[in-house]
Amino acid sequence: MSAMDLAILWPTVALVTLIFAVWAVLLRQRFAHIAANRPTAADFANAESVGRYFRPVERPAQNLANLFEMPVLYFALVPLLILTGSASIAQVALAWVFVALRLAHTVIHIGPNTIRTRARVYIASCAMLFAMWLGFIIDLPIHAGARM
């Protein structure tokens, strides 16, 4: 494993840490909500009633779900970068920017939830991920030829 292969893993570890941190916030808020608002059987009768019951603390759950949407493409790309030897300094830099933007998106979403700012950060993170994939696709023939 090259130094760049190892370097691309650190933003990946950071993103996984963010996902577990959001999950912990979700659990803490839900348990506090349950303790303060004892649920009834009707509160858990179906998905709609569960949604209504947890509505006051739903943003961490929404954010956690969001962390399994576009980031799936990131998690798919990292092994491909390592496998093909394409984990360049540019890819590592883009990965760190992507993860930093995902962190900013999470802080905004769970915190003040300013929609315009959150949307801009989200779009910027998607642009970083697109740039990573585009770079991989452009470099693929170079790295594939070197491995033949």
pLDDT beyond 60 at 148: no
Q: How far apart, in whole angstroms, are the C-alpha atoms of residue 71 and residue 15? A: 9
Q: Which tens digit of pLDDT belongs to each residue from 108-146?
A: 999 999 999 999 999 999 999 999 999 999 999 887 766
Q: Which pLDDT band, with edges at 50, 70 and 90, does 2 fall under?
A: confident
Give the model confidence (pLDDT) of 93-104 as tens digits: 999 999 999 999
Does residue 147 or residue 106 have the better pLDDT? 106
Residues of 114-132 as b/e, b for ≥16 C-beta within 10 angstroms? eeeebeebbebbeebbeeb
pLDDT in tens, 16-63: 999 999 999 999 999 999 999 999 999 999 999 999 999 999 999 999
> pLDDT value at position 50?
92
Q: Beta-carbon neighbour count of residue 112 at 10 Å?
A: 10
Looking at domain 3-147, which of 1.20.120, 3.40.50, 3.30.750, 1.10.3470 is its CATH number? 1.20.120
Residue 147 binned pLDDT confidence (cut-offs 50, 70, 90) = low
Ranges of each domain in the chain: 3-147
- Contact by Cβ (8 Å): 91, 28: no
Q: How confident is the model at residue 84 (pLDDT cuts 50, 70, 90)?
A: very high
Structure tokens at 9: 């893993």
> What is the reported pLDDT for 48?
95
**Chain CA centroid to CA 133, Å:** 16
pLDDT of residue 1: 73
